[in-house]
Structure 1
Amino acid sequence: MSTKITADIGIIAAGPAGLCAAASAAEAGCSVVVFEKAAGPGGAANMGMGPFAVESRVQQRALVNLTKEEAFRKYMDYVHWQVDAQLVHDYIWKSGDTINWLEDMGVEFAGVMKNFPASEQTWHVVKPEGGGIPGPRSASAMNKVLHQYCLDNGVKFYFNTPAQKLVKTDDAVTGFIAVSLEGEEYEVEADAVIIATGGFGTNPEMIKQYCGYDMGKDIFTFNIPGIVGDGIKMAWEAGAGKSRMEMEKIAAPNLPGANLGQWPQATLFMQAGPLAVNKSGYRCCDESIMQNGSVGANIVDFQQDHVMYKITSDDMIKYYRRNGMDFPNEVFGGDPTIDFDANMARAEEEYPQLAFTAASLEELAEKIGIDADNLIDTVDRYNDMCDENYDDDFGKNRNYLHPLTGKKFYALEFRCNAYGSLGGIKINHNYEVITDDYKVIPGLYAAGTDVCDIYNGTYYYYFPGNTMGFAINSGRMAGENAADYVHEE
């Protein structure tokens, strides 16, 4: 026996895309129901800090003068125009107004930030609930405001109740079946359905099949429970085409929790000074490039066994203690030189295969398992270039040429990490789901990570907040377009 529910629009999942879809559809006068497999709203965005936008009021107050036109051109040049240009245009043009929309709801932003010096000031970091310093999980405050706004506008939520299958009448999607964790079945009848389930970033089989990575071996994700591609599979079963599928890669120290600030010393290894070497002991890049985590992931991915090591020393740590970091970090504050030895000792004790401390380069090479002669030659050459104040190998900025000398040497393993997956469901710029031959499936829309095929292989880290920005804007536009479809029926 199933419970029948009727609504104008049914939404699958209550992450930022689903919440914004529900809010915009409710504003348009539609009755909306949202089914979410987790116990509460927000999804992966509860671990984030804030969305991208251009020409918002927050930026205007901060005197940021990046225009939509400039942002669009930079974006499309970066991806070589190998994405849906109209989709990118509409996203960028909507983004500033969406921040204003969120502010009018009651979302507070701590400011607009960069992720690293060469990035743009597009990151609208949410003020944490109760105040305090922004950091990972700040965006959960935005999700709570969105959820309450939806409730105030009549949206009904069903938590712990994942959707299982889309329902079609002739060629159109007219609802879905959902089953609660207690086994209660719901038959949802809706004039339009929006899928916003957050991708497949915790599904090792899909990651291997569609992206070619072995999860936990050559790529490490946030492992957010429930992000397993179920919405993508439901759409495919209903006839949706497959879009480009990728991982949202970044290079990072492989210590568990490093991306969430659990290892204070990790940010020092992200600086431009520590030497980057591969498994053979050879230097492999201009280390300052790795301030862009997505480009850094490409560097790591290219190396033998998809691994790289960054090496620092006690002399280099003294330099940073006196002069400050090469790249001050707005995500993880504080001074990573404080208690550096103690933090490295703790890391090495817990993860001896990932963190290394030694009294010599020979000992360090032995601990890591790389060729000692190659490493010593590499360091000698690097130190000579530091003395000459000129990087003849990769042209690193002279300000970042810090010699690798001293009585103690430290290293961390770097791997490709991933915030999650990208893409899967093929859509047009109206967020209508389409088949492989570009025919619209009436009544079916999708938003967020499930459809985020806009980076052409490398996440656009120069516009920080991009994926969350796409989630909230695509959700908002999908809700608006689905409402137009319902009203035309």
Structure 2
Amino acid sequence: MANKVSRRQFLHTASIGALGAAMAGALVGCSGSSGSSSTASASGTYTPGSYSATSKGISSDVTVTMTFDAESITDVTIDVSGETEGFGKGIGDELKEQILKAQSAEIDGHSGATITSDAVKDAVANCVAQAKGEPVVSTTPGQSTAEGESWRTAPDAITEFAKEYTADVVIVGGGQAGTPAARAAIEAGASVIVIESQTEDAMSFRGGGQIGHLNSEFLASKGIPQIDIQEFVTDWQLRTNNRSRCGLIMAYAKNSGKCFDWMTDSFTAEEKDSWSVRQWPLSSNYTQKKSGISTWVGTPTLNGDASPVKRCMEIAREKGADYHFGTKACQLIKDGDAVVGVVGKEADGSYIKFTAKKGVILCGGGFGGNAEMCRDLLIEISDYCSDDTAIGGMDDDGSGIQLGYWAGGRLESRPLSSMGGNYVYPCNSPGDPIGTTAALWVNCHGKRYCNEGFGDIVLAAMAGAKEPQGKIFTVFNDTIRTDLTYQAPGHMAVDYANGEDEKLDDIMQGAIDGGDAGYEVTGMSTVTVYAGEDAQQLGQRLGFTGTDLENFVATVARYNELCEKGVDEDFAKEPVLLRPLNGKHIFAYGAEKSMGSMLVTTGGLLTDDNSQVLGEDFEPIKGLFTAGNNCGGRFGFQYSTSIPGESLGLANTQGMMVGQYVAAL
């Protein structure tokens, strides 16, 4: 770690990737077993010995212990045991290998576990500083590193470059939006440069399902009816309280199917024949609207690692797109009010000037890996969380949004949207045993508190954020495999049409056989499912006692009464979702109420309908565009989907369209 004496110097280094969002973790408990002298040994780079540091991860403190000889890192121990399953737990060995190979904190980390990776990098940099006898920068999660400055402060202009490149279109980020933009632009006749901070080996492309599109030829080939565009866009605006930019959403709706067919045009007919669609065919029990909010089918499930984005990258590079992997975009270049290029930083510390003759497109992902930005921009989540809560997710460091903001771009109004963090439901994970099925939800005092089937899981679960601290439970009947066919085919729903519900028979039998111990189910998190012959026995197994147990028994009885009436007099739940709890056994599981953890952020810079970034005067900034999770005006206050996977589908479609638009300038 370099000696950092000022906030501006720190932010400048962090923004160009020296440590990035890793510096946002809290450093505590630092110690050195070899004297931890203030200066390294005169005969070497390091003072030999072992040093430890701790940094805040996504759900726990992450501890790194490193052993040094005079010139190298010889051993690393990483404790990520307290991190969430699927969000960083278990990546210690992988990161250890990266650190030993890199001999520094400058590692790629683990794709999909950004906050844990950054915490490890943070602690590694701390240990290196100790071994060198250098000062250590210590921060509190989500707070400014030093008084008076923040992520909003632009670094000093960089004017000296080791290399220079020029293209019509320069794209920052080669992921779900950037790569479709690159392919579309080069196919439209423009020259293209893509600046990607990850190394080529570290790039991770989403394969399989959860890519939300509508009205593609592929979907039509599966017999799926066309979706009415007007109804789709109206529903979207209802979900977002009309905070989304309607022109952007209309463009997505009109071009989404074309985009999917274009992105998959190089896959063979045999490959496509093997793909399925989530929740298709629909059950006859399904109704399109819940509480006046619609859902539709439109999520292809591709087999194995089939990735349309990866295939698009291969095509774009074959056609001449120049990808600069391992280069961190750290600044935009302006000529007057116009953006004309990007400054990139190489792994060796040198700077490169990338000149864009037509435009720069920011596709750098969200900011869930930047704790300070999360505290600042996700104010609803911040209001729900204590000051020492680590807010963030499996996400990027927000540098793409920073670039646009430093260049004069306007952010959408707070709170910016995210994929989670401000809502709670039982289990609260894509591994939830019954998915989004609208069963009975009760709080830690055994009381029902909301309409569990309001629209979709995200909208319904926002009520849980306001419940007392403690566990929130879901209670369901032994008819659950039928009950879930009434659910909306939305984000995290059980795909009964393709066999995902079959696991429930084993889960219920395991819970019955487990008795008081219940039955553990592991997905992205681990929950214990309990069974009871009646509400009294089930409530006791869930841990309810006294008045809370009485509440639980009364809640189940009242819910059954409402199901019998067919009218939810308490919370106005749709009658078709009122499924009684009257089986030979009833079942439940719960999880502690937890706020602040998300998958990614989905808000950012404001744009016009052509994805051109708006300045503080709400006028377009010449030469500056954005797509994907750098772009605001898409999901309102929270990611809520009428088709599962709309975050990726919208990023793909917007990337394709902005690539075509800028190429035509």
Higher mean C-alpha displacement, 8-17 vs 182-191:
182-191
Q: Which residue of 1 aligns with 2:580?
A: 402
Q: Aligned residue for 1:196?
A: 363
- Alpha-carbon distance change, 307 to 207 in structure 1, aligned in 2, over 3 angstroms: farther
For residues 280 and 332 of structure 1, do their structure 2 counterparts lie closer, same or farther at Cα, with a shift above 3 Å needed? farther
Give 1:407 shift.
Answer: 6.5
Q: In the alignment, which residue of structure 2 is the partner of 1:436?
A: 616
Give the drift of 1:437.
Answer: 1.0
Q: 1:128 maps to which residue? A: 303
Q: Indicate how the Cα distance of structure 1 residues 152 and 76 shifts in structure 2: closer, same or farther if over 3 A, else same.
A: same
Partner of 1:459: 639
d(CA) in 2 for partners of 1:478 and 1:355?
Answer: 46
Matched letter for residue 368 of structure 2: G
The alpha-carbon deviation at position 286 of structure 1 amounts to: 3.5
The one-letter amino acid of 2:254's match is: W
Matched with 2:220 is 60
The answer (yes or no) to whether the contact 2:441–2:472 under 8 Å persists in 1 is yes
* 2:188 counterpart (28, 31, 44): 28
- The correspondence of residues 329-348 of structure 1 with structure 2, limited to 5 A, is 329-330=494-495, 333-340=500-507, 341=510, 345-347=519-521
**CA distance, structure 1, for counterparts of residue 600 and residue 225 of structure 2:** 29
Contact residue 41 and residue 147 of structure 1 kept, 8 A: no
Matching residue's letter, 2:643:
F
The one-letter amino acid paired with 1:102 is M
Q: State how far apart, in whole Å, the 1-side matches of 2:296 and 2:251 are.
A: 20
- Structure 1 position 104 matched with structure 2 position 278: no
Cα distance between partner residues in 2 of 1:455 and 1:295: 12
> Could you say which residue in structure 1 is the equivalent of 2:420?
249
CA pair 101-433 structure 1, distance change in 2 beyond 3 A: same
- Residue 308 to residue 346, structure 1, CA distance change in 2 (3 Å): closer
In 2, Cα distance between the equivalents of 1:10 and 1:93? 26
Question: 1:233: Cα distance to partner?
Answer: 0.8
Q: Residue by residue, what CA displacement relative to the aligned partner does 1:419-456 show, whole Å, maximum 9, x if unpaired?
A: 42122212111111111211222211111111142233
- The residue identity in structure 2 corresponding to 1:101 is W
Residue aligned with 2:589, SS: strand
Write the letter of the residue equivalent to 1:455.
Answer: F
Distance 1:58 1:398, change over 3 A: closer
Taking structure 1 as reference, are residues 419 and 297 closer, same or farther at Cα in structure 2, changes over 3 Å only? farther
- 2:332/2:339 contact within 8 Å kept: yes
Q: Is the 8 A contact 1:452 1:470 kept in 2?
A: no
Task: Determine helix, strand or coil for the equivalent of 2:500.
Answer: coil
Partner of 1:97: helix, strand, or coil? helix
Distance 1:453 1:243 in 2: 7
- The CA deviation at 1:478 is 1.4
Tell me how far 1:355 sits from its aligned partner.
4.0
Map 1:84-99 → 2, pairs under 5 A: 84-99=245-260
- Partner of 1:162 in structure 2? 328
- Residue 374 (1) aligns with residue 540 (2): no
Once the two structures are TM-superposed, the CA of residue 277 in structure 1 deviates from its matched residue by 0.8
**Contact kept? 2:183, 2:312, Cα under 8 Å:** yes
Relative distance call for 1:84 and 1:385 in structure 2 (3 A) is: closer
**Cα distance in 2 between the residues matched to 1:69 and 1:390:** 31
Over the matched positions of the two proteins, sequence identity in percent amounts to 22
Q: CA 1:296/1:73 → structure 2, altered by over 3 Å: closer, same or farther? A: closer
**In the alignment, structure 1 residue 185 sits paired with structure 2 residue 351:** yes
Match for 1:373: what amino acid? Answer: E
1:22-421 matches, cutoff 5 A: 22-40=182-200, 46=206, 49-61=209-221, 62-106=223-267, 110-114=275-279, 117=286, 118=288, 120-129=295-304, 141-191=307-357, 192-212=359-379, 213=381, 223-224=393-394, 227-244=396-413, 245-249=416-420, 258-259=429-430, 261=431, 266-268=432-434, 270-273=436-439, 275-289=440-454, 292-305=456-469, 308-312=472-476, 316-317=477-478, 319-320=479-480, 326-327=486-487, 329-330=494-495, 333-340=500-507, 341=510, 345-347=519-521, 355=528, 357=530, 360-364=537-541, 366=543, 371-386=548-563, 391-394=568-571, 395-397=573-575, 400-403=578-581, 409-413=587-591, 418-421=598-601
C-alpha separation between the residues in 2 aligned to 1:367 and 1:120? 36
Deviation of 1:24 after TM superposition, in Å, equals 1.0
Equivalent residue letter for 2:581: P
Worse-matched range after superposition: 411-420 or 434-443: 411-420
- Give matches, 1:4-19, under 5 Å: 4-19=164-179
Gap change, CA 1:94 and 1:65, over 3 Å in 2: closer
Distance in structure 1 (CA, Å) of the matches to 2:181 and 2:600: 21
Q: CA-atom RMSD, angstroms?
A: 3.8
Higher relative contact order (CA 8 A, sep 6+): 1
> 2:427, 2:545 → 1: CA distance?
15
TM-score calculated relative to the size of structure 2: 0.61
- Return the offset for 1:113: 4.1
Residue 134 of structure 1 is matched in structure 2 by: none
TM-score by length of 1: 0.81
Match of 1:479 among 659, 662, 665: 659
Deviations 1:170-227, CA, capped at 9 Å, x for gaps:
22212112223443432212222110011112333322221132599699999325x1
- Closer, same or farther: CA 171–270 of 1 in aligned 2, 3 Å: closer
Distance change >3 Å, CA 295–CA 80, structure 1 → 2: closer
SS at match of 1:19: helix
On the 8 A contact 1:252/1:293 being kept in 2, the answer is no
Greater alpha carbon shift after TM alignment, 455-464 vs 358-367: 358-367
Structure 1 position 391, deviation (Å): 4.2
Question: Are the aligned partners of 1:243 and 1:424 in contact in 2 as well (CA < 8 Å)?
Answer: yes
C-alpha distance 324-43 of structure 1, shift in aligned 2 (>3 A): same
Q: How many residues align?
A: 461
